[in-house]
């Protein structure tokens, strides 16, 4: 691959320079689809992407799964990883880069080894998400404001914290997604413990994992009113129907 | 109905699900019922889409043209509406109920490929689904020769990667086709031209989870729950300032007060309800005086709001409404895909103005401008993401204008 000039955000350029740059771009200069022999795709990554492609009626549908595979393999969507996926899929790297930058969960810059996403949307905010973010950031030693907006990685490269939009777990607010698993409700002590556990490689907050919650919604009054008790077969309608939603 | 057995240990495994009567509807549907009759039964049941729009599922299914073209079924599991978390629990605890519903719906509309588009954040839920799909394939409930009938349904779990907009049906289709999730111009509606250009039925997780129950027990049985216009039960997600946030399955039509106070335990000790979203953060807020309205699609619409996805978020009197409006607007600003100008710029400027108001830098003019920006977004975009900000923010400025004014005034007096 040829050496590319150093890239600078076009917002930083003076208008004249920017205009000259745009004028210099020609469609035929756009990077074409890389050939497989031009990139060095790890066997495992290639197999994973090809398997994803085989599951859809149209190959392009595998572009999101392919980016997941790249991110899993390299820790983030690296430019080289994107080129490799593009070669396997027969797409231009630009196409896949557009995918990687559109979706919030794909990272196009290096980030910490462990990923902590803190929900800062309405329901979590109402129950103290801002305090939770601060506690996590204090424990990890990153700037809370930066983490809440763009995400921030701790100095040792271990922990990446980012404020995130609704993660769909308002029943355990305030909550966070830690390495793709949900935990909540979390207080400041939990936050400190979680960061400590991530650093030491211990199991994270076993008692706060969503997967282990028997019933969402906190302590249950008896009898369980959440279940609309309705049952019936074609032959016997009416059994217990009126009891639906008793409270 | 949907939550029956939800806390049965290991309900997510196919053995437990079958022991409790699971997959009986599927076998009935594939062996005994004509596909047209399935659609008719669903239409007759009055089942309305549970994703937000509340459109009749059977009617949507009947819009799909007949013929040899490839048709598709998509299950929308991109649950990203702030306040909604019902689909997560339904899939995590009872994945087979959804798979059974998908297979039956696919048969009803003659779709060979069915997709469950699940948001990327639900990684662990998608793991559960993946496992359940493998079990269903092994048991012969999915695949190329279902239960020996020769019918074929392939089910693929497709993980998204974090974009609220993909919950919009046409953006979901774009994402599934491997593009950036941008909404398409409608019409043509997906039922006519959807995934890969083929007719596509798109339904929410909860809607499809209802299907096995309707097929098994009949439309007449289903209609006995709820009200005439809003049949069946609904899983309601209650969150925010309440004692027991969680998912509750209710019969449509019970008073909202009963949901918030009875089921969810009411506001925290000594507090009162100040404002509540009846259907996720996209619904205009209602106030304490509207708590006794029956919880139905119609009553919420009449009150100027909507039932949407059935997610109630409660804010008590300690909550500042301007700050609540700012949180709401920030979300839509972040999630706007940028395709349509009114939404992209409208959400941006609404956030900037609300930030000014909250930080004491607002002017009295800002409130009118905020209100007029909302009016200019409504109905002017390809999808309703912009409207989804305009409606709640507009309603907050209208109903709690005094609070916004004192946020502006307070600073002027202090200065």
Q: Taking every pair of C-alpha atoms in chain B, what is the biggest distance, in angstroms?
A: 80
CA A116 to chain B, closest CA, distance in angstroms equals 12
Structure tokens that stand for B186 in this block: 């409608």
**pLDDT at res. A5:** 64
Chain A hits for B79, Cβ within 8 Å: 168
Q: Look over chain B and give the mean of its residue pLDDT values, rounded to a whole number.
A: 95
Q: Which residue has the tokens 């798979």?
A: B99
Task: List CB contacts (< 8 A) between A211 and chain B.
Answer: 92, 124
What is the spatial distance between Cα B322 and Cα A157, in angstroms, rounded to a whole number? 37
Residue-level pLDDT at A212: 82
For residue range B70-116, what is the model confidence (pLDDT) as tens digits? Answer: 999 999 999 999 999 999 999 999 999 999 999 999 999 999 999 99
Smallest CA–CA distance, residue A69 to chain B, in Å, is 12
- In angstroms, the CA A186 to CA A188 distance is 7
Contact at CB, B281 and A167, closer than 8 angstroms: no
Taking a C-beta distance cutoff of 8 angstroms, is the pair B202, B169 a contact? yes
Q: Which residues pair with A209 in a beta bridge?
A: A183
pLDDT in tens, A108-150: 999 899 999 999 999 999 999 999 999 999 999 999 999 999 9
Structure tokens at B120: 């990327």
Please compute the mean of the pLDDT values over residues A192-212 and round it to a whole number: 94
- CA nearest to A230 within chain B: B1
The answer to whether the CB of B389 falls within 8 A of the CB of B377 is yes
pLDDT digit string (tens) for B34-70?
999 999 999 999 999 998 888 999 999 999 999 999 9
Give the residues across from B255 on adjacent strands.
B294
B331 within 8 A of B82, measured Cβ to Cβ = yes
Question: Strand B311-316 relative to strand B273-277: parallel, antiparallel, unpaired?
Answer: antiparallel
- Please give, rounded to a whole number of angstroms, the shortest distance from the CA of A133 to a CA of chain B: 15
Strand partners, B72: B113, B200
- Report CB contact under 8 Å: B178, A64: yes
Q: What is the pLDDT of residue A3?
A: 62
Q: Give the closest of A105, A173, A232 to B121, CB-based.
A: A105
In this complex, which of B3, B175, B281 lies closest to A228 when CB atoms are compared?
A: B3
Chain A positions touching B221 (Cβ under 8 A) are 232, 234, 237
**In the sheet that A159-164 helps form, which strands lie side by side, from edge to edge?**
A152-153, A159-164, A114-119, A176-178, A181-183
Q: What integer pLDDT is reported at residue B166 of this predicted model?
A: 95
A–B interface: beta-carbon pairs under 8 A: 218
Cis check for the bond before A98: say yes or no (omega within 30 of 0).
no
* pLDDT for the residue numbered A220: 42
**Phi then psi for A64, rounded to 5 degrees?**
-70, -50
Tell whether the model's pLDDT for residue B306 goes beyond 60: yes
Residue bearing tokens 């022991």: B19
The rounded distance, in Å, linking the Cα atoms of B212 and B326 is 41
pLDDT tens digits for range B171-218 = 999 999 999 999 999 999 999 999 999 999 999 999 999 999 999 999
The minimal CB distance from B178 to the residues A63, A216, A234 is found for A63
- Answer yes or no: is pLDDT of A7 > 80: no
What percentage of chain B reaches a pLDDT higher than 70? 99
Q: Among all chains, which residue has been given the structure tokens 């979680």?
A: A194
CB of A212 within 8 A of CB of A184?
no
DSSP secondary structure code for residue B261 in this structure: I
Enter the tokens of residue A82: 């994107």
Distances (CA, A) of A174 to A166, A190, B13, B316: 11, 11, 30, 17
Q: Distance (Å, rounded) from C-alpha B28 to C-alpha B25?
A: 5
Q: Six-digit token pair at A41?
A: 């795709």
Inform me whether the pLDDT recorded for A1 exceeds 90.
Answer: no
- DSSP alpha helices (H): ranges in A75-172? 79-89, 93-102, 122-126, 129-140, 144-149
- What pLDDT, on a 0 to 100 scale, did the predictor assign at position B1? 86
Per-residue pLDDT tens for A86-99?
A: 999 999 999 999 99
| Interface touch B244/A126, C-beta < 8 Å | no
Q: B33 to chain A, minimum CA–CA distance in Å?
A: 15
The answer on pLDDT for B131 being more than 70 is: yes
Q: What is the DSSP letter of B289?
A: G
Decide if A171 and B123 are in contact by the 8 Å CB cutoff: no
- Decide if pLDDT at B415 tops 70: no
List B201's β-bridge partners, or say none. Answer: B73
Distance CA B376, CA B363 (A): 20
Interface residue of A216, A219, A238 to substitute, partner B, most B CBs within 10 Å = A216
Among chain B residues, CA nearest to A168:
B85
Span A170-185, pLDDT tens digits? 999 999 999 999 999 9
Q: Sorting pLDDT into bands at 50, 70 and 90, what band is B18?
A: very high
Distance CA A162, CA B354 (A): 23
Contact flag A224-B7 (C-beta cutoff 8 Å): yes
Helices (H), B33-182: 35-45, 57-63, 86-93, 95-108, 123-138, 169-176
Residue B412 reports pLDDT greater than 70 = no
Confidence category of residue A232, pLDDT binned at 50, 70, 90: very low
pLDDT of residue A211: 86
Q: Do A99 and B180 touch (CB under 8 A)?
A: yes
Q: State which residue of chain B sits closest to A220, comparing Cα positions.
A: B244
Give me the pLDDT at residue A13, please. 87
What element of type H or E holds A181?
A: strand A181-183
Percent of chain B with pLDDT over 90: 92
Residues of B in contact with A119 (CB under 8 A): none
């Amino acid at each position: 691959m040829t050496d590319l000039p150093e890239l600078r955000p076009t917002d930083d350029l003076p208008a004249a320079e920017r205009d000259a740059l745009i004028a210099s771009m020609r469609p035929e200069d756009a990077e074409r689809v890389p050939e497989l022999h031009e990139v060095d795709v790890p066997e495992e990554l290639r197999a994973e992407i090809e398997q994803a492609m085989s599951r859809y009626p149209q190959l392009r549908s595998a572009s999101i799964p392919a980016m997941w595979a790249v991110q899993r393999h390299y820790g983030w969507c690296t430019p080289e990883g994107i080129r490799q996926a593009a070669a396997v899929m027969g797409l231009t790297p630009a196409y896949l880069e557009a995918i990687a930058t559109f979706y919030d969960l794909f990272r196009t810059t290096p980030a910490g080894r462990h990923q902590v996403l803190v929900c800062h949307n309405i329901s979590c905010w109402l129950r103290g998400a801002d305090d939770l973010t601060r506690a996590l950031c204090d424990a990890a030693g990153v700037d809370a404001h930066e983490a809440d907006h763009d995400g921030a990685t701790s100095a040792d490269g271990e922990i990446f914290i980012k404020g995130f939009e609704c993660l769909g777990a308002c029943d355990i607010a305030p909550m966070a997604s830690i390495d793709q698993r949900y935990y909540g409700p979390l207080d400041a002590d939990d936050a400190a413990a979680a960061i400590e556990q991530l650093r030491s490689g211990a199991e994270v907050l076993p008692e706060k994992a969503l997967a282990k919650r028997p019933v969402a919604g906190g302590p249950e009054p008896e009898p369980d009113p959440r279940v609309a008790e309705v049952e019936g077969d074609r032959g016997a309608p009416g059994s217990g129907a009126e009891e639906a939603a008793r409270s | 109905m949907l939550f029956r057995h939800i806390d049965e240990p290991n309900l997510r495994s196919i053995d437990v699900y079958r022991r409790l009567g699971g997959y009986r509807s599927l076998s009935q549907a594939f062996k005994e019922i004509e596909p047209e009759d399935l659609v008719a039964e669903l239409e007759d049941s009055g089942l309305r889409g549970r994703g937000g729009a509340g459109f009749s599922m059977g009617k949507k299914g009947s819009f799909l043209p007949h013929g040899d073209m490839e048709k598709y079924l998509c299950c929308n599991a991109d649950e990203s509406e702030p306040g909604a978390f019902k689909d997560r629990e339904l899939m995590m605890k009872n994945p087979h109920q959804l798979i059974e519903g998908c297979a039956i719906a696919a048969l009803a509309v003659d779709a060979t490929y069915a997709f469950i588009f699940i948001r990327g954040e639900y990684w662990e839920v998608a793991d559960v689904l993946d496992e359940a799909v493998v079990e269903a394939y092994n048991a012969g409930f999915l695949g190329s020769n279902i239960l020996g009938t020769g019918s074929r349904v392939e089910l693929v779990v497709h993980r998204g990667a974090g974009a609220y907009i993909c919950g919009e049906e046409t953006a979901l289709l774009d994402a599934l086709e491997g593009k950036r999730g941008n909404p398409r111009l409608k019409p043509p509606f997906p039922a006519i031209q959807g995934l890969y250009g083929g007719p596509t039925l798109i339904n929410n997780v909860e809607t499809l989870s209802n299907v096995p129950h309707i097929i098994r027990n009949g439309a007449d049985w289903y209609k006995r729950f709820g009200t005439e216009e809003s049949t069946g039960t609904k899983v309601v997600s209650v969150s925010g300032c309440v004692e027991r946030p969680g998912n509750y399955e209710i019969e449509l039509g019970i008073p909202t007060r009963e949901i918030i106070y009875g089921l969810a335990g009411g506001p925290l000790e000594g507090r009162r309800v100040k404002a509540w979203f009846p259907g996720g953060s996209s619904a205009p807020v209602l106030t304490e005086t509207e708590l006794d309205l029956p919880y139905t699609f119609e009553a919420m619409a009449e009150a100027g709001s909507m039932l949407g996805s059935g997610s109630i978020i409660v804010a008590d009197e300690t909550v500042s409404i301007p700050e609540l409006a700012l949180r709401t607007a920030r979300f839509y600003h972040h999630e706007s895909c940028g395709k349509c100008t009114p939404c992209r710029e409208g959400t941006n400027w609404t956030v900037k103005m609300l930030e000014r108001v909250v930080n004491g830098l607002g002017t009295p003019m800002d409130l009118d401008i905020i209100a007029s920006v909302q009016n200019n977004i409504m109905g002017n975009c390809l999808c309703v993401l912009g409207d989804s900000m305009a409606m709640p923010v507009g309603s907050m400025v209208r109903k709690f204008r005094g609070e916004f004014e004192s946020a502006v005034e307070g600073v002027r007096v202090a200065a």
